[in-house]
Amino acid sequence: MAKKVLIEMFTLDSAGCAPCTYAKEAVEEARDEIGGEIEIIEHKIKDKAAVKLMQERGVSKIPTICINGDIVYESIIPPNDELIAEIKKRMKDDGNGCCCGGDCC
């Protein structure tokens, strides 16, 4: 069973910063291609709360793409197939029949 994936993006603001715009577009295209349960959240550091979260999470560059909490791409827009592979890796079961990472069932 595929696991839900959370993609968090730390941006200046994808509406006004070209690298952030295209990082977000790349993530959305990968999501649309894969299908399944992939949630994308954008943390814009034009909001104070996002600056605080960025510091807490150890993110120092924008745009940064985190998948299920892992910092995967910092200030680089990955090619589509590479990004899809990183997302799919995190959608897979852990191999022992447990769909939650191993703690709950």
Partner 1 sequence: MTNKEILLSALRYEEPPRVPWVPYVGVHGAYLIGKDADEYLKSADLIYQGVCIAKEEYNPDGLPIVFDLQIEAEALGCELKWAKDNPPSVIGHVLNDVPLSELKIPTEKDGRIPVVMEATERLVKEFKDEIALLGLICGPFTLGLHLMGSKMISKMVKNPDEVAEVFEFCSQVCKAMAEMYLKRGVEVIAIVDPMTSQISPQMFDKFVLNSYNPTTELVRQYNGRSLLFVCGDATRVVPNLCKVDTDGFAFDENIDMAYAAEEARKHRKVFCGNLPLTVGLLFGEVEDNIKFAQDCINIGRGPGFVLAPGCDLPYHCSVENMKAVVNLVHQG
Contact residues: partner 1, CB under 8 A: 12-19, 21-23, 25-26, 29, 45-46, 48, 51, 61-63, 74-81
- Of 49 and 100, the one with the shorter C-beta distance to partner 1 is 49
Smallest distance, Å, CB 48 to partner 1?
Answer: 6
- Of 15 and 41, the one with the shorter C-beta distance to partner 1 is 15
C-alpha–C-alpha distance, residues 43 and 51, integer Å? 8
Q: If 0-12 CB within 10 Å is exposed, 13-18 middle and 19+ buried, where does residue 56 land? A: exposed
Q: Report which DSSP code applies to 14.
A: T
- Alpha-helical regions (H) of 1-105: 18-34, 48-56, 80-91
- Of 74 and 93, the one with the shorter C-beta distance to partner 1 is 74
- Of 4 and 46, the one with the shorter C-beta distance to partner 1 is 46
C-alpha–C-alpha distance, residues 61 and 55, integer Å? 10
Smallest distance, Å, CB 4 to partner 1?
Answer: 24
Smallest distance, Å, CB 25 to partner 1?
Answer: 4
